[in-house]
A and B are shown apart, each in its own frame.
Chain A
Amino acid sequence: MTNTAANGEKTEPGIKAIRLRHPWRNTFAVVLLLIVALFIADAAMRPAYDWPAVGKYLFDQRISQAAFVTLQLTVYSMIIAIILGVTLAIMRLSPNPVVNSIAWVYLWVFRGTPVYVQLVFWGLIGTIYQSIDMGLPFTEPLVSFPTRVALSAFVLAIIGLALNEAAYMAEIVRAGLLSVDSGQEEAATALGMSWFQTMVRVVVPQSMRVIIPPAGNEVISMLKTTSLVTAIPFTLELYTRSRDIAAVTFDTVPMLIVASIWYLFFTSILMVGQYFLEKRFARGIGDRRPDKKADDATASIAGAMTGVTPVVGSGQPTVVLPPTDPRADSPKGDR
């Protein structure tokens, strides 16, 4: 204690203690590092991995095109799944029993059967329904075209993935909507907002904070589920394409590594996107202050905030003051 006093700078002495040592932690880390290093060294030498082939095929045009197709499948089917999922979730919470039941049956069917089976079904749709007819029932159709022409394997893959995913998204969204305090809906209702306005303006934005983490999971999961569309059969996505190449060149393992690298690359990008989305929807929650503008506003009146009681308020009749140019004393907060 005398040491710090002698310095004459700090009034409170810092605690000087021998830090708790974690010898096992360090030993374990070293052992682990050694094992990993051995594995990497071994993998680099092992001919089965055939690294030159990995390098050769990683940016092969067929592979990068297939990777792009995989990305397209993911994005398109996810967009449809989210829109449909939100709709289904709202339907499930609707007071209308007809709408509610429709959503329930949809979830029952699409969650209750494997996505692979559903994809095979979509692939067979051209066989089951050979043409798509529009017109009145039991009369000659006004418009008719063969299913195989109207719906390509690519479109069927998107439909198959999206309709299955929508069922899962619906449950995620429903959980999010239910997580919003019921007082929020009441306050909006009391202001005269319609049920739809209440949902869109008040409940859904707040539920996003709960929805985004599992939804991000679903996007990443979808990226990988696209490899199942070979069941349709649709063969131009990343996994099937690399398998097809491997079947000719016998480079099975290198092609798997190539595909994995591409999947990892996309997943990493998606994770970054998720991080920013989560930040965006954490607005106004708790002590986190992601909003730069709010930070600035806080700083400008930081002095007033140090006291517990606000400057305005009790005692004086603040209420009856006529609204004399309100902008005079408010920060310029136009967005």
Chain B
Amino acid sequence: MPDIPMVVADRVSKSFGSNEVLKSISLEVKRGEVMCLVGPSGSGKSTFLRCINHLEVVSSGRLSVDGELIGYREANHKLYEMRPKEAARQRRDIGMVFQRFNLFPHMTALQNVMEAPIRVKGLSRAGVEANARALLARVGLADRADYYPAHLSGGQQQRVAIARALAMEPKLMLFDEPTSALDPELVGEVLDVMQGLARDGMTMIVVTHEMGFAREVADSLVFMDGGVVVESGVPTEVLANPQHHRTQAFLSKVL
């Protein structure tokens, strides 16, 4: 079992109407691997991320997490669409962090972190609260537990969002441009938290424009453009010596 990669995408395509956003994407993410997805906007990287936890439904191809097909059940060589309940069960194990944080504004930081373990896993409040406080301490926000999101800075909100995702004890974390909505001076604190997660062995897929983070933290880097994987490899090599002209063109703009 441990040999199975955490994420396997096999010729995954996704269309919105006649607009094909993902064109036959194939890639693997191993356990404990940190993969950075980079590329110009509209290249399909966020859509691909959203397909992994079934926020978007793939049009063709197979996508599996931890050996389990996402969104469908396969029996007798036929695919059966999953019930919403089963899809929700799969999502429990996949944490997601959004560009716009999406914290619940009517709940305090602590309540945000406690919500899913209590409602989804049905755990007891006391245990969940202790764990939630530990998670907030882990992202450096123990003293902000009783603050509402509106009273936190962007960086603090995003760290609460990471703690909220971690509270479900996911086996995979997806980050959708986690620092893009932040003021420049707040980016560092969020990246620090993510780096710590990577060090602890979390499997992560990160859509980002932070090339420094990609170089230092990621195990692999995938460059996407126009819905296809243009180039992939070890971050330092891809960044230092891009092979494809589209990668070169993109990197010359962002580096």
A binding-site residues for B, Cβ under 8 Å: 181, 183-184, 186-195, 197, 201-202, 205-206, 281, 283-287, 289, 291, 293-294, 297-298, 301, 304, 308-310, 312-321, 323-324, 326-327, 329-331, 333
- Chain B residues contacting A323 (CB-CB under 8 Å) are 133-135, 137-138
Instruction: Enumerate chain B residues within 8 angstroms of A326, measured Cβ to Cβ.
Output: 130, 133-134, 136-137, 142
- Could you pull out 20 A-B pairs where Cβ atoms are within 8 angstroms? A183-B98, A183-B100, A186-B102, A190-B53, A190-B91, A191-B164, A192-B88, A193-B88, A201-B119, A205-B106, A284-B107, A297-B147, A310-B140, A313-B188, A318-B192, A319-B138, A320-B196, A326-B133, A330-B143, A333-B145
Q: Is the interface of A mostly helix, strand, loop or mixed?
A: loop
The answer to whether B189 touches A314, judged by C-beta atoms less than 8 angstroms apart, is: yes
A193 touching B116, Cβ below 8 Å: yes
Give CA–CA (A190, B88) in the complex, Å.
Answer: 8
- B141 contacts across to A, CB distance below 8 A: 312
Are A310 and B185 in contact (CB-based, < 8 A)? no
Are A186 and B55 neighbours in the complex by a CB distance under 8 Å? yes
Given A187-B98, A329-B143, 4 other A-B contacts at CB below 8 A? A191-B116, A195-B84, A323-B134, A326-B137
CA A236 to CA B92, docked complex, whole Å: 56
Residues of A with C-beta under 8 A to B164: 191
- Is A284 a contact of B55 with CB atoms below 8 Å? no
User: Of A314, A319, A333, which contacts B146 at CB under 8 A?
Assistant: A333
| Chain B residues near A304 (CB-CB < 8 A) | 143
Does residue B151 face the partner (Cβ distance < 8 Å to A)?
yes
Query: Which of A286, A298, A326 has the largest number of chain B CB atoms within 10 A?
Result: A326
Q: Say whether chain B's binding surface is mostly helix, strand, loop, or mixed.
A: helix
Which of B84, B134, B150, B197 is within 8 Å of A194, CB to CB? B84
Complex-state Cα separation, A326 to B156, whole angstroms: 17
| Residue contact B143 to A331, C-beta cutoff 8 Å | yes
| Chain A CB within 8 A of B139 CB | yes
* A286→B105 CA distance, assembly (Å): 9
Minimum C-beta distance from B19 to chain A (A): 20
- Count residues on chain B whose CB falls below 8 Å from chain A CBs: 61
Given known A-B contacts A187-B98, A310-B153, A285 and B105 have beta carbons under 8 A apart: yes
Which residues of chain B come closer than 8 Å to A289, judged between CB atoms? 151
Q: Do B84 and A184 have beta carbons less than 8 Å apart?
A: no
What's the Cα separation between A14 and B136 when bound, in Å?
Answer: 47
Across the interface, B150 reaches (CB within 8 A) one of A187, A287, A324, namely A287
As a 0/1 sequence over residues 86 to 122 of chain B, the CB contacts with chain A under 8 angstroms (1 = contact) are: 0011011011101010111111101000011001100
Give A329 to B133 CA distance when docked, in angstroms. 10
User: Which residues of B sit under 8 angstroms from A201, Cβ to Cβ?
Assistant: 115, 119
Contact A191 B115 (CB under 8 A): yes
Point out the residues of chain B lying under 8 angstroms from A195, CB to CB.
84
* Shortest distance from the beta carbon of B50 to any chain A beta carbon, whole Å: 9
Q: How far is the CB of A200 from chain B (nearest CB, A)?
A: 9
A205 to B106, CA, bound (A): 7
* Cα–Cα distance between A184 and B102 once the two chains are bound (Å): 6
The reply to whether A206 and B165 contact each other, CB–CB distance below 8 Å, is no
B178 at the interface (CB under 8 A from A): no
**Min CB distance, A292 to chain B, in Å?**
12
Q: Does B3 contact A (CB under 8 A)?
A: no
Contact between chains at A285 and B104 (CB < 8 Å)? no
- Bound-state Cα–Cα, A286 to B148, Å: 10
**Distance of B102 from chain A, by nearest CB (Å):** 4
Give CA–CA (A161, B143) in the complex, Å: 51
Interface status of B200 (Cβ within 8 A of chain A): yes
CB of B244 closer than 8 Å to a CB of A: no
What is the distance, in angstroms, from B13's C-beta to the closest C-beta of chain A? 22
The answer to whether residues A294 and B151 also contact, given A197-B120, A206-B106 and a CB cut-off of 8 A, is: yes
